[in-house]
Amino acid sequence: MIIHNISLKSYNTFGLDYRSDYLVRIKSESEVLQFLDSDFSRISPLLIVGAGSNLLFINNYHGIILKPEMSGISVEEDLSDYVIASAGAGVIWDDFVKWAVTNGFGGIENLSWIPGTIGASAVQNIGAYGEEVKDYIEKVRAISLENGMIKIFNNTECQFGYRTSIFKNELKGKFIITKVFYRLQKNRKFNLSYGRLEEEVKKSGEITLSNVREAVIRVRKQKLPDPNYLGNAGSFFRNPVVDIKTSEILKKEYPDVPVYRHDEKSMKVSAAWLIEQCGWKGKRIDNAGVYEKHSLIIVNYGNATGKDILELSTIIQKSVFEKFGIMLEREVEVIE
């Protein structure tokens, strides 16, 4: 279904009221092909939007937005230790996590309550509490927007990295994901190593899939603002990755700085901590501000424009750079 001149307010979790010239809601693979056969496919630029939980519009969008709405969750293969489950790109991510937990399939319970859709989970390689979805994605089914061919990307071909994949880089705007296949465990070995997660789970009793899910939801609700009440896009910045030497120098000067292992050669530094040290936590500039309970989150107090939010983020980047010599990178995608 093609809609002309639509407000984007309910298509971005900052709640910004920009407009798009066109929006196409796509419910099936055949609707992708219909779109590609139509004159609308010649309109550019083109943007694919999931739940809009990682986007910052700063202008009206003079182009076409595709909104994948493919639904359905099913078990594709039932093997002795695991299942391969698939979900349509438009399924809400947390509905899928809930389905997995209810059916006793483990792996993604730490990723409960993350906003977004199935399609975005693969584009973005979502992560939380010591887990990343890349470790559970078996393959991704997508259609080329150039020639309508279906392509299956295996896990390696997706080129997953920290909050990134091939779909955000080389193939950006070139494929539309229609379905994602996940490998879920029947006998889950839980990962409660992050922070005080284990303690939180034990408040509900035994360590079970549903207790882990509930604990994660409790922790997230305490720290992260609900976009239905306060516009935001989760973490605004990535945690910066620095080499080990830099992290040691930083640790020497600031013994409290939280750093985590990224890979053999590098460490991740807590961006929230860096921002907080610069005095930004809870600070507000007109209608945009840094969330009072978590300084990695920029919130819209109601009437901020995309440009206000972008400007605040630039000031934050500058002050972190001046104090620590580290340039924060935005995780949120700015749409010009």
What sign does the CA torsion over 123, 129, 135, 136 have? Answer: negative
Please say which residue, 1 or 334, places its beta carbon nearer to ligand EPU: 334
Token pair belonging to 146: 């150039």
**In Å, what is the CA distance from 206 to each residue of 102, 130, 197?**
16, 20, 13
Pick one of 50, 68, 90, 234: the residue that binds ligand EPU (CB under 6 A). Answer: 234
Please say which residue, 196 or 203, places its beta carbon nearer to ligand EPU: 196
- For residues 152 and 135, give the distance between their C-alpha atoms in angstroms, rounded to a whole number: 17
Rule CB under 6 A: is residue 129 a binding residue for ligand EPU? yes
- For residues 202 and 213, give the distance between their C-alpha atoms in angstroms, rounded to a whole number: 12
- Region from 42-50, 206-214, 234-242, 302-310 binding ligand EPU, contact rule CB under 6 A: 234-242
Pick one of 168, 179, 281, 330: the residue that binds ligand EPU (CB under 6 A). Answer: 281
Rule CB under 6 A: is residue 14 a binding residue for ligand EPU? no
Catalytic positions, written as ranges:
163, 235, 331
Please say which residue, 140 or 272, places its beta carbon nearer to ligand EPU: 272
Nearest 5°: CA angle at 48, between 46 and 52?
Answer: 125
Q: Which of 301, 280, 292, 126 is nearest to 222 (CA)?
A: 292
Q: Which residue is closest to ligand EPU by CB?
A: 234
User: How many separate helices (H) and strands (E) can be counted in the chain?
Assistant: 8, 20
Pick one of 21, 31, 198, 276: the residue that binds ligand EPU (CB under 6 A). Answer: 276
* 121 close to 133: Cβ distance less than 8 angstroms: yes
Site residues for ligand EPU, 241-270, by CB under 6 A, read 258, 270
Rule CB under 6 A: is residue 128 a binding residue for ligand EPU? yes
Q: In angstroms, what is the minimal distance from the CB of 258 to ligand EPU?
A: 4
Rule CB under 6 A: is residue 165 a binding residue for ligand EPU? no
Q: In angstroms, what is the minimal distance from the CB of 332 to ligand EPU?
A: 8
Long-range contacts of 249-253 (CB under 8 A, 24+ apart): 250/324
Over the window 181 to 200, marking each residue x when it contacts ligand EPU by CB under 6 A and - when it does not, the resulting string is --------------x-----
Pick one of 121, 211, 235, 246: the residue that binds ligand EPU (CB under 6 A). Answer: 235
Please say which residue, 138 or 331, places its beta carbon nearer to ligand EPU: 331
* 27 close to 35: Cβ distance less than 8 angstroms: no
Q: In angstroms, what is the minimal distance from the CB of 195 to ligand EPU?
A: 6
Instruction: Identify any residues that bridge with 88 across adjacent strands, giving them in sequence order.
Output: 179
Amino acid at 69: E
* 85 close to 105: Cβ distance less than 8 angstroms: yes
- Region from 94-102, 135-143, 198-206, 292-300 binding ligand EPU, contact rule CB under 6 A: 292-300
Please say which residue, 40 or 254, places its beta carbon nearer to ligand EPU: 254
Rule CB under 6 A: is residue 282 a binding residue for ligand EPU? no
DSSP 288-324: EEE-SS-TTEEEE-SS--HHHHHHHHHHHHHHHHHHH
**Number of residues lying near ligand EPU (CB under 6 A):** 18
Q: In angstroms, what is the minimal distance from the CB of 235 to ligand EPU?
A: 4
What does DSSP say about strands 61-68 and 46-48: parallel, antiparallel, or unpaired? parallel
Q: In angstroms, what is the minimal distance from the CB of 281 to ligand EPU?
A: 5
- For residues 213 and 74, give the distance between their C-alpha atoms in angstroms, rounded to a whole number: 20
Please say which residue, 103 or 191, places its beta carbon nearer to ligand EPU: 191
Q: At what angle do helices 93-102 and 209-223 cross, to 10 degrees?
A: 150
Instruction: Identify any residues that bridge with 298 across adjacent strands, giving them in sequence order.
Output: 290
Residues that bind ligand EPU (CB under 6 A): 128-129, 195, 223, 234-235, 238-239, 258, 270, 272-273, 276, 281, 294-296, 331
